[in-house]
Amino acid sequence: MPLIRAMYIHIPFCTHICHYCDFNKVFLKGQPVDQYLEALRKEIAIVFREHPPAALETVYIGGGTPTALSEKQLNRLMDIIHSFVDAGKLKEFTVEANPGDLTGEKLAILKAAGVNRLSIGAQSFNDSLLERIGRTHRAKDVYEAVEQARKRGFENINIDLMYALPGQTASDVLRSLDHLFRLDVPHCSAYSLIVEPKTVFYNLLRKGMLALPAEDEEADMYERIMEEMEKRGLHQYEISNFAKKGFESMHNRIYWDNENYYGFGAGAHSYIGDRRIANIGPVKKYIEKLEAGQLPVREEQRLSLRERVEEEMFLGLRKTEGVSVAKFEKKFGFSPFAWYGERIRRLEEENLLAFEGGKIRLTKKGKLLGNVVFSQFLVGG
């Protein structure tokens, strides 16, 4: 029986749809939210019967927008989680939040339920840019959300930022960082825009109507983010994540360590044993499956040894500390150099990787060219 330390719950409802978002989500109005929550309860019950949560340490509720739920629905979701999980024994209990949805009442519900970490989707502190990317909140809403959260005892707060947005400049990124540092939160995730299919931005890009920063401008933004975060005491512990000591995300660390986790909800993914499981995405089909007493599995893949090794490398290299050779050998029975020795040496020569202290890690140059490095550890890379 695999020890599973992390549990992800997906809430696919949003009060608006952002222009860049390709996550599994639907516009909230008219959706069967109460039936969805009941289906979620059934899914957890079925999976936990087969794989009991003996070692659960983290719960992460993402979306969509979990805080788009009404107070009554949010209470119901917390009750469902409590019926399966002792929240008092969790090391980390995170909920994603939209600044415009995070009311005092909802914060009180989350605090009472044992939530101890909030992840607030700011994306930018430039109001005109927020409008351009389809966000409905404004910079003042982020300040208010953080203030209200702190009044109710939340200190472990993450702010999500995005860069390389349409029409964005490096100076604009620095201004958003200034706002971030004024808030003095202990964690920030900074992601570059990736234009995905089935998004508003993708359609605009195909029509030649989306002006994005050039690659060298994007690289400059990322370098400045890394430099400014370090100056302010937020150390980079993963390619896109920065934290004060002791505030690193435990839940996401489990993903990057390539360990098992539960995933519940429409479109959610699980990793149990050597199986990766993807749930059905459409909300109504997800509900129908569970009302029929069936798990809502869309796809299940049993990973080969090669696939597990590949994932161990490209996920582990996302961490600033890199891949521990000793942990790799304990997990697989052989060294990463046995499979990738020539590639690792070549990447070292190109100053993309470094091997020191028993760990293989990205250099600063390697962080800027992360996807190039990761591809070298895939079949045909």
Tens digits of residue pLDDT in 185-224: 999 999 999 988 988 888 887 888 889 999 999 999 999 9
pLDDT value for 1: 64
Among residues 240, 256, 272, which one ends one of the domains? 256
Burial of 355-365, coded b for 16+ CB within 10 Å and e otherwise, reads beeebbbbbee
User: pLDDT tens digits for 340-376?
Assistant: 999 999 999 999 999 999 999 999 999 999 999 999 9
Q: Are residues 106 and 223 in the same domain?
A: yes
CATH number of 136's domain: 3.80.30.20
User: pLDDT tens digits for 125-169?
Assistant: 999 999 999 999 999 999 999 999 999 999 999 999 999 999 999
Q: Are residues 220 and 325 in the same domain?
A: no
283 found inside a domain? no
**Is 85 strand, coil or helix?**
coil
pLDDT value for 88: 93
Among residues 195, 230, 256, which one ends one of the domains? 256
- Helix, strand, coil shares of the chain as percentages rounded to 5? 45, 20, 35
**HSE-CB for 111 with a 13 A CA cutoff:** 17
Give this prediction's pTM. Answer: 0.96
| Domain limits for position 190 | 6-256
- Going by C-beta distance under 8 Å and a sequence separation of 6 or more, which residues neighbour residue 293? 42
